[in-house]
Amino acid sequence: MTYIPKNMNHYAHAAMNLINMDSENRVVLNVGGIRHETYKATLKKIPATRLSRLTEALANYDPILNEYFFDRHPGVFAQVLNYYRTGKLHYPTDVCGPLFEEELEFWGLDSNQVEPCCWMTYTQHRDTQETLAVLDRLDLDTEKPSEEELARKFGFEEDYYKGTISWWQEMKPRIWSLFDEPYSSNAAKTIGVVSVFFICISILSFCLKTHPDMRVPIVHNVTVKTANGSAAWFLDKSMTNAHIAFFYIECVCNAWFTFEILVRFISSPNKCEFLKSSVNIIDYIATLSFYIDLVLQRFASHLENADILEFFSIIRIMRLFKLTRHSSGLKILIQTFRASAKELTLLVFFLVLGIVIFASLVYYAERIQPNPHNDFNSIPLGLWWALVTMTTVGYGDMAPKTYIGMFVGALCALAGVLTIALPVPVIVSNFAMYYSHTQARAKLPKKRRRVLPVEQPRQARLPGERAPGGVSGCGTPGSGPHSGPMGSGGTGPRRMNNKTKDLVSPKSDMAFSFD
């Protein structure tokens, strides 16, 4: 018989007490089927969160397994639990940003506590959401909207639900889609082709009528007296006008533009937004300039400076921006310049700074040595040279002649190359980002399956037994499987009373409980 000292029994009893105390201080969390074990004191480090308020009265506590069950993403929870342990919240790269935000919101944590090392990766989804919102405003989708969406867009949603739509309310969206949405139907594509044809013909006519071979001279018969007193005459070409054919071409083109503007304005869903649109402003100003030109030619052609008035007709070239309605690439390009406004402003600032500095330097550098052929008589002339040099154009009309001036010119050229090259990658990346998202949206399936919210099945109970949430059955009042704000978010019933056994029928998923 082995003798065991009393102090050894004391040590063993103390060790058992420590083990029991340690097990009581630990908690088991089953998240998405993966069990995590930690200390209760660890979960108390971040107060006012879901895990800091765990009690055995919650519906997602299983007394048999002695664990809390949460039907949430297990990968994100690993980082959440690590945040409680270390006080540092890191972003897992294998999940999407919105999912990570939803999980943090469920656990009651602030997403702004993400560590700086993961912040850029974590906030990429916000940039993506902003990009998608911009593409939504650009209206690049070619999917045909439903009748309900059209009724909401054109403001007769109530009449649509009542079934009292008039013939004009029915025709208005069709007319609008014909003239403003080129990819909505084959007829809209035809009208879009006609519109592009008239735009190209108008621009081509505007350019060709300035060619000398396309102009007709205006000849006057001038009579003069000779030295012997007899009369003589000769033909004098005072000016030239464009051929009459260009006038008829412009009349036909502007008749189409006028008709298109009126139809689109009448059938537009929002008149104010139509008038404020930049492309529409260019359209009706360019069309109005044609009629103003006709009036001036009729009543002001006798003025000496009447040709200056033709300068305002240059706005008709701006009709090229109407092509953005027919090309998503042009819309993306314009949006790229809008998104890169800060970089372009920075580029202009550094260019102006460099132009002023190098213009001043080359002016004084050319005056240090004797230089009889000095092209830089003033700093304003040097500004033109610095602009041409920094933009790497180099007309060659002005060039430094001294060695110091040549050195300044070399520095100016190098500074210009670096200044222009720095913001270019940012602009290219913005265009690639918008273009890639546009291509991805175009490849998305038109009809996507919806996920319906399914209520978890409840346990079937014998007659006379209280339902969950009462004073008997599954514990404390309000602790049933579907009650309490601290539930598991749709985890279903997992708690069982200690005296309850579940018998599952082989033909059904319904569980019967017997006391």
For domain 330-440, say whether CATH 1.10.287.70 is its number: yes
Q: Domain 184-326, what fold?
A: Four Helix Bundle (Hemerythrin (Met), subunit A) (1.20.120)
Question: Which among 408, 405, 202, 377 is positioned nearest to 289, based on CA atoms?
Answer: 202
The Cα-based distances of 487 to 75, 156, 398 in angstroms read 20, 43, 80
For residue 172, the model assigns a pLDDT of: 87
Strand 67-70 relative to strand 26-31, pairing: parallel
Question: Which among 147, 177, 174 is positioned nearest to 161, based on CA atoms?
Answer: 147
The span from the CA of 365 to the CA of 417, in Å, is 22
The residues that bridge with 224 in the sheet, in sequence order, are: 232
DSSP 210: T
User: Each residue of 170-184: pLDDT tens digit?
Assistant: 888 888 888 888 877
For residue 273, the model assigns a pLDDT of: 86
Look at 284 and 491; give whichever has higher pLDDT.
284
Task: Please say whether the dihedral angle defined by the alpha carbons of residues 246, 247, 253 and 254, taken in this order, is positive or negative.
Answer: positive
Question: Which among 410, 411, 416 is positioned nearest to 351, based on CA atoms?
Answer: 416
CB atoms inside a 10 Å sphere around CB 172: 18
The span from the CA of 78 to the CA of 64, in Å, is 24
- pLDDT above 50 for 340: yes
The span from the CA of 173 to the CA of 147, in Å, is 10
Q: Domain 10-139, what fold?
A: Potassium Channel Kv1.1; Chain A (3.30.710)
Mean pLDDT (whole number) for 232-250: 79
Q: Which residue has the tokens 């009292």?
A: 164
CB 209 within 8 A of CB 215: yes
Expressed in angstroms, the distance from the first to the final Cα of the chain is 48
Every domain of the chain and the residues it spans: 10-139, 147-181, 184-326, 330-440
Q: Which of 8-22, 40-54, 344-358 has the lowest mean pLDDT?
A: 8-22
User: Each residue of 343-380: pLDDT tens digit?
Assistant: 889 899 999 999 999 999 999 998 888 878 888 888 99
- pLDDT above 90 for 450: no
CB 104 within 8 A of CB 110: yes
